Amino acid sequence: MQIRLHRVRELLHIMDAQIGSMETLDGKRFPEKFEAISTETALQAEKAACILRQILYDSGTIPKAAYLGKAASSQGVRIAFGDGILEVALPCLLPKKRGRYSNQFFLDPLNAALEQFNRALPIPRFRECSVCFVHVFQSGCASRKYFDYDNLQQKQILDVIALHAMVDDNSLLCDVHHTAEPGETDETKVFVMPKKRFPEWLSERQKA
């Protein structure tokens, strides 16, 4: 455990230096450099969180599922089901395809949150369904770089949701769509619905 705690301390030291660089760097003049530093800082934070989680699991003081449910709540994961449509909201834009820690940081709490929600309000198993990833960008950030959809960890997110709410997410049964819209803060919303509901749902959302 001491080795892992030492590693966490090292990561925190690196993060402190990187945050100092972010504070002094003009993100509007050097957006690419700011993105690189902030991305690396976030990844270091995810590594530290995952190591601390494992230390907690090994201690046996709290069941893994119980902690991950708290982690999902702390991260701001929201799940709702109504009018035949499942909505999963993540409090950030999807991370890029980089490293196993990013996967573990987001996916484990999401899986636990879906398990808890399913116990309280069982989600029907969608057979033929449409899935729409709505990427919500904070309004007023004109200088930011927008991403390519194929560079994101969307498949991993879909796999977790499919485990709890779909018969299968293969291309025959599941259509996947992407759209983007402005909002008060960055977040990702995933909607799952019967295929026949999607055209009307999308039309109404675009009007709004």
Residues 106 and 43 in one domain: no
Residues 84 and 50 in one domain: no
Could you read off the pLDDT of 56-104 as tens digits, one per residue? 878 888 888 888 788 888 878 899 999 999 999 988 877 666 555 556 6
Q: What is the dihedral of CA 56, 59, 63, 66, to 10 degrees?
A: -30
Looking at 40, 61, 82, which one is the last position of a domain? Answer: 61
Q: Considering its fold, how many domains does the chain have in total?
A: 2
In the sheet with 78-82, reading across from the earlier edge strand, the strands are 78-82, 85-90, 187-194, 129-138, 174-183
CB contact at 8 A, 151 and 102: no
Q: What is the structure's pLDDT at 103?
A: 60
Residues 187 and 93 in one domain: yes
Instruction: Calculate mean pLDDT across residues 3-23.
Output: 91
Residue 168 has which token pair?
A: 């299968």
Q: What is the structure's pLDDT at 145?
A: 58
Q: What percent of the chain has pLDDT over 70?
A: 89
Looking at 41, 61, 81, which one is the last position of a domain? Answer: 61
Residues 166 and 194 in one domain: yes
How far CA 147 is from CA of 151, 152, 153, 201, in Å, comes to 7, 8, 12, 25
CB contact at 8 A, 134 and 179: yes
Q: Look up the pTM and report it.
A: 0.75
Write out the H or E segment, with its range, that includes residue 133. strand 129-138
Secondary structure class of 7 (helix, strand, coil): helix
Residues 174 and 119 in one domain: yes
Residues 201 and 124 in one domain: yes
Residues 155 and 94 in one domain: yes
- Would the pLDDT of 127 be above 90? yes
How far CA 69 is from CA of 90, 165, 192, in Å, comes to 14, 18, 22
Residues 84 and 164 in one domain: yes
Could you read off the pLDDT of 14-34 as tens digits, one per residue? 999 999 999 999 888 888 898
How many Cβ atoms sit within 10 Å of the Cβ of residue 44?
Answer: 18
Residue 125 has which token pair?
A: 């198993």
CB contact at 8 A, 129 and 173: yes
Report the C-alpha gap between 123 and 134 in whole angstroms.
21
Residues 139 and 178 in one domain: yes
Bridge partners, 174 (sequence order): 129
**What is the crossing angle of helices 31-59 and 100-120, to 10°?**
60
Looking at 28, 61, 94, which one is the last position of a domain? Answer: 61
Residues 19 and 117 in one domain: no
Residue 196 has which token pair?
A: 């026949």
**CATH classification of the domain holding 143:** 3.30.1330.70
What is the extent of the structural domain holding 87? 64-207
Q: What is the dihedral of CA 145, 148, 153, 158, to 10 degrees?
A: 130
Residues 181 and 100 in one domain: yes
Residues 56 and 71 in one domain: no
